Amino acid sequence: MAKTYCATYKDDSRKMQAIQIGLIRQVVISSVFTLILMMTVQVASLPVVFAKDKELAPEVQLDLLVNSATKSMKDGRWEDAVQSFEKAMKLGVSLPGDFHFLYGKALYKTGSYEYSLSSLTIYLTLVGRDGKYYEEAISLIVDAENKQKEEMRRTSESKRRKVEAASETEDGMVFVKGGCFDMGDIFGTGTSDEKPVHTVCVGDFYLGKTEVTQKQWEDVTGSNPSKFQCGDCPVERVSWNNVQDFIKKLNEKTGMNYRLPTEAEWEYAARSGGWKEQWVGTNDEEKIGEYTWYGYTAEGRTHAVAEKTPNRIGLYDMMGNVWEWCSDRYDKQYYEHSPSKDPQGPSEGTSRVLRGGGWRSKDKVLRTTDRNDMPPTTKKFSDIGFRLARSP
């Protein structure tokens, strides 16, 4: 009896211990999960706390942004400078007089003459004749007003040009009214051979509405060297020397005086008569595809001419599809000593200028100011062609 009781007592004791251990485990596990949850919440809130600690006073942010903008101006990165100034203006703090001068100067350099005049006028109003930049501000205001008048004149001329371009000649040429423009890296996004920006004047000329097609080439030469066989597509795989032979035969056949455009004529026409256009027809990178076949949109080949939107004076495919030969020899430093009136390119050089980019090009080399070159014997590339020009 006693043995039975003792055994029962021991069994009950063991059960109680098991129950107690189980309860203890549950409490420990629950505590651990609670602790983990609390730590998670605390860690998640840390970035917010740190962000608050790291938030700078508006006045400090202003100094940082102005310093950044000033450095960009020294480096010639005017668009970056304007962006920094505009961020500073959104801080809602009082801006010193010199800020308005620097902002106005950066706007002038990017071609925003109306806003530049406004900012420079504010500067003069705040500081008067005693301002550190008074003389330079007056000079910039005069120049900005002249630039504005020139843009208004060009706008008026553009309307007339559109009418002239609409009535193209029988040989598929578009009349391009001559004029003066700033040639080269006007947006500050180009390479060293696009510098310095310099003023160039070109006379009146005609330029092919489209690139020379394979059908047109074959009609004159009796052969078609192109990789992508398509009558209405631009002829390609033609060297500069091949083009000269073609032009000679064409002139003998027609009695005309066709030629390749000069590099200055090409850029002037690509920019719709000297307009400030980073790409042909637009300054919006998202709209490049409306004007040309390039990159992935080209699907690995050339396409028929005149399928995309023309520029303001009625020229098709001035960027993309195929690179276009110009008459000039190439010199990386030619812009440093280029004449201002109808430049014909350097008198010496082993390669010839190519412009406009081709079907495999990316947006950077499609820019209206981008320059490229190849030896005049090069004819292996399926993205090199040309368009014709002639004088009145």
Token pair recorded at residue 337? 């000593």
pLDDT in the model for residue 226: 98
Q: Report residues of the chain scoring pLDDT below 50.
A: 1-13, 15-16, 18-21, 23-24, 27-54, 163, 165-167
pLDDT in the model for residue 50: 33
pLDDT in the model for residue 161: 54
Q: CB-based burial of residue 308 (10 Å sphere; 0-12 exposed, 13-18 middle, 19+ buried)?
A: buried
Helix axes 58-74, 97-109, angle to 10 degrees: 40
Asked if the peptide bond before residue 375 counts as cis, ω within 30 degrees of 0, the response is: no
d(CA 146, CA 312): 23
Contact in structure between 389 and 265 (CB atoms under 8 Å)? yes
Q: What Å distances lie between residue 266 and 75, 187, 201, CA to CA?
A: 29, 18, 12
For CATH 3.90.1580.10, the residue range(s) in the chain are 169-390
pLDDT in the model for residue 149: 83
User: Which residues touch 371 (CB under 8 Å, ≥6 apart)?
Assistant: 191, 193, 194, 263, 330, 353, 354, 355
Within a 10 A sphere around the Cβ of 19, how many other Cβ atoms? 10
Contact in structure between 274 and 180 (CB atoms under 8 Å)? yes
For CATH 1.25.40.10, the residue range(s) in the chain are 58-148
**Rg value, the chain, Cα:** 34
pLDDT in the model for residue 157: 64
For the domain made up of 58-148, give the CATH fold.
Answer: 1.25.40
Options 3.30.43.10, 2.40.50.140, 3.40.47.10, 3.90.1580.10; CATH for 169-390 is: 3.90.1580.10
